[in-house]
């Protein structure tokens, strides 16, 4: 890990509010001391199921089209309101597929992986359809909370007060957070360095707008694509993100950098789809596809790397701890 005095001071003052004392993990016959599987077991867990992933991607494209189609057929504003949170949930799913593609774990063929994960789902999920996200996300994995981690501030300062959390969620639900995210795409059109990525972003959204226009309902693009992203998506994304790393800190031990939460059906459906909720396991070995993360988590538990006191039984319990001025014992 790169180290600078200035960043080390930031890490010390802004992170670590949820970190507990850990016994060193010595490794086992199946796991290395850093938790990664050994030898043939790791090779087995790194296998990508192309057929199942293709079905998952197809379903993830068909679902929003189906919801939008139902709204068009009903033709009532109540149907639009009901569809907004559903589309927001489905946009989270698209982002997770783009995330999987960024790790080159969506398809074993790299060209297909990038075409589907980066160029398609990355585009649809209000990205640029380029490798920019991959480059930044690689820094996040190489050195969580390090000087190049693009998400450092997203996880900093936890636990925070309930007032501060409500303020963050109001900004998310009110479109302020989305505006801050998307504003560089507008200013980037006038800056040579960012022009190409900004242009690709707009081309992607013009394509989505075109699909709505072809259906004869161009204004539904704003109601059923933009609105869910700037409201519902932002709230769900924050709740997911802080449950991954909120209150943790920079460390060579991944148990200090990421939380582990037991996965319930509702959570997996709404904001941690496609096994992204097995986030500690994902950071232990980011080369393992999402389908095999539950199995890796089980190995971590069985071999003593992931102990019961490091496991949150519910997301609600973790969120409550994240808005407590002083860290609480894991319920």
246-278 confidence digits (pLDDT tens): 999 999 999 999 999 999 999 999 999 999 999
- Whether 145 maps to a domain, the answer reads yes
| Nearest-angstrom CA–CA distance, 77 and 71 | 9
Beta-strand ranges (E) seen in the chain are: 260-261, 311-312
- Whether 329 maps to a domain, the answer reads no
Alpha carbons within 13 A on the beta-carbon side of 308: 1
Q: With 90 as the cut, is the pLDDT of residue 191 above it? A: no
- Whether 49 maps to a domain, the answer reads yes
Confidence of residue 53 (pLDDT cuts 50, 70, 90): very high
- Whether 70 maps to a domain, the answer reads yes
Q: Please give the pLDDT value at position 159.
A: 93
The residue with greater pLDDT, 220 or 8, is 220
- Whether 142 maps to a domain, the answer reads yes
pTM over 0.85: yes
Please report, for the chain, how many H helices and E strands are present, in that order: 18, 2
The residues with which 167 forms a beta bridge, in sequence order, are none
Q: With 90 as the cut, is the pLDDT of residue 142 above it? A: yes
Q: With 90 as the cut, is the pLDDT of residue 330 above it? A: no
- Whether 327 maps to a domain, the answer reads no
Domain range enclosing 27: 5-322
- Whether 92 maps to a domain, the answer reads yes
Question: For 200-220, what is the mean pLDDT?
Answer: 93
Confidence of residue 329 (pLDDT cuts 50, 70, 90): very low
Q: Please give the pLDDT value at position 207.
A: 92
Question: For 298-317, what is the mean pLDDT?
Answer: 97
What's the structural domain count of the chain? 1
Q: With 50 as the cut, is the pLDDT of residue 331 above it? A: no
The rounded Cα 22 to chain-centroid distance in angstroms is 26
Q: How many residues does the chain have?
A: 331
| Nearest-angstrom CA–CA distance, 273 and 268 | 5
For residues 275 and 45, is the Cβ–Cβ distance under 8 A?
Answer: no
- Whether 147 maps to a domain, the answer reads yes
């Amino acid at each position: 890990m790169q180290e600078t005095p200035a960043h080390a001071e930031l890490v010390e003052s802004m992170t670590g509010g949820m970190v507990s004392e850990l016994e060193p993990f010595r490794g086992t016959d199946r796991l290395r001391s850093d938790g990664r599987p050994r030898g043939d077991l790791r090779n087995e867990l790194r296998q990508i199921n192309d057929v199942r992933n293709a079905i998952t991607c197809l379903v993830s494209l068909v679902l929003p089209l189906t919801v939008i189609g139902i709204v068009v057929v009903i033709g009532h504003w109540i149907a639009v309101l009901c569809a907004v949170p559903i589309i927001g949930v489905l946009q989270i799913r698209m982002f997770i597929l783009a995330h999987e593609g960024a790790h080159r774990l969506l398809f074993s063929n790299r060209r297909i992986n990038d075409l589907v994960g980066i160029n398609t789902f990355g585009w649809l999920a209000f990205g640029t359809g380029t490798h920019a996200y991959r480059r930044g996300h690689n820094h996040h994995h190489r050195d969580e909370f390090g000087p190049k981690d693009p998400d450092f501030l997203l996880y900093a300062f936890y636990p925070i007060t309930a007032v501060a959390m409500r303020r963050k969620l109001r900004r998310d639900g009110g479109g302020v957070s989305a505006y801050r995210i998307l504003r560089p795409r507008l200013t980037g059109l006038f800056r040579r360095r960012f022009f190409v990525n900004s242009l690709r972003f707009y081309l992607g959204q013009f394509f989505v707008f075109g699909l709505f226009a072809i259906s004869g309902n161009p204004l539904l693009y704003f109601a059923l694509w933009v609105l869910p992203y700037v409201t519902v998506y932002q709230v769900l994304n924050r709740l997911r993100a802080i449950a991954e790393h909120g209150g943790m800190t920079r460390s060579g031990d991944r148990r200090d950098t990421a939380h582990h939460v037991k996965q319930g059906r509702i959570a997996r459906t709404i904001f941690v789809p496609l096994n992204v909720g097995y986030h500690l396991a994902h950071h232990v070995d980011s080369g393992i596809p999402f389908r095999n993360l539950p199995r890796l988590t089980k190995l971590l538990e069985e071999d003593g790397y992931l102990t019961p006191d490091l496991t949150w039984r519910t997301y609600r319990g973790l969120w409550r701890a994240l808005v407590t001025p002083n860290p609480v014992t894991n319920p």
